Amino acid sequence: MAAGTAKRDPDLKAALVPFEALPVIDAGALRGPGGPARDAAVEALTRAARQIGFFYIGNHGVPQARIDAFFEAMRTFFALPDTEKRRTAFARQGKRMGYMAFGQQRTDDDAEGDLVEGYEIGLDIPADDPDADFPFYGPTPWPDAPAGFREAMLAYMAEMRPLGEAVLRALAEGLGLDSEAFAPFLDKPILLLSPRHYPPQDGHITRKRLGVGAHTDYGFLTFVLQDEVGGLQVLGADGAWIEATPLDGSFVCNIGELLENATGGALRATTHRVINDSGRERYSCPFFFNPSRHAYVAPLTALAGPESAERYSPVRVGPHYEARMRYEY
């Protein structure tokens, strides 16, 4: 399909916003020593998280060679025949790890399954761990092909956890809290790496079938690595949809529901969706950085005013996550 032949419903239109209108946070400064550069980065990050709930993370320190190897492994796997991909289909033995077929994920209750396939990779824990029954902890089943897939996925995932921790520390400081204020939630975090493949859509596109339907993420933070195709839309604070155009050398990061809860609404979870009418295959990968299964998340004492206490009740993370992650089997 050639680009431009698809037709979106009017409510699926989004504004193209110049890069300078979207905050780009310097992760190198966030992870660096104290001083004016770090102070400015913390302030910019906290302002974006408060006002918009999404932002770009630049200067993130993940080597480009590691990202290139990750993309190559992802594209090669999704090009395999369905019979090969389904050898590691998730939902086996109660786990939601492994291959996720088209339509199996449904993020909008009023729509059909999402037009995306993916591979779910979680935090590996031993089989005799008391949390080994939890669907969103590993072990992850790994495919026999392509060669190096497991290594490329785990190498990239190893870069993302410390980045998530650094952003959370900076947000805590920006909110006037101790830098380790969120650490008690993260003793055994739910970490999900989710390589995704979106085929191009054509014809008349409605909200009944999108790449991913409109939703907010369920945990603390999401970091999205995009290729150059685009298609991610974010609902701005003014109620208008914004195209989160790919920006070289950056991730798109957004706040999730549980971080909004933990901060008593000081930070806001952001609604977003994916529409791929580019005429090209789209590849991306969210990394979901979430609290531990047994954590109870409620507004931290320093942020818990009367209004937030009324609006945000304590949430046990495991049941919350299982209820929000909806799949068709």
Which spans in 99-219 are helix H? 149-174
Q: Comparing 308 with 99, which gets the higher pLDDT?
A: 99
Enter the tokens of residue 314: 């304590």
pLDDT in tens, 273-305: 999 999 999 999 999 999 999 999 999 988 877
This prediction's pTM: 0.92
Enter the tokens of residue 48: 């974006």
What's the CA gap between 172 and 325, in Å, rounded?
27
* Mean pLDDT across 50-54: 88
Which pLDDT score, from 0 to 100, does residue 239 have? 79
- Tell me: pLDDT of 233 over 60: yes
Contact at 8 Å (CB) between 258 and 297? Answer: yes
What's the CA gap between 6 and 146, in Å, rounded?
33
* Mean pLDDT across 173-187: 95
What's the CA gap between 187 and 149, in Å, rounded?
28
Residues counted in the chain? 329
What's the CA gap between 8 and 140, in Å, rounded?
37
By three-state DSSP, how is residue 327 classified?
strand
Contact at 8 Å (CB) between 41 and 170? Answer: yes
Domain architecture of the chain: domains with CATH: 7-324 (2.60.120.330)
Among 283, 31, 69, residue whose Cα is nearest residue 169:
31
Cα four-point dihedral sign 278, 60, 188, 184: negative
Least confident among 3-7, 59-63, 88-92, 167-171? 3-7
Report the share of the chain in percent with pLDDT over 70.
Answer: 91
Least confident among 52-61, 133-142, 219-228, 306-315? 306-315
pLDDT in tens, 194-211: 999 999 988 888 888 889
- Tell me: pLDDT of 88 over 80: yes
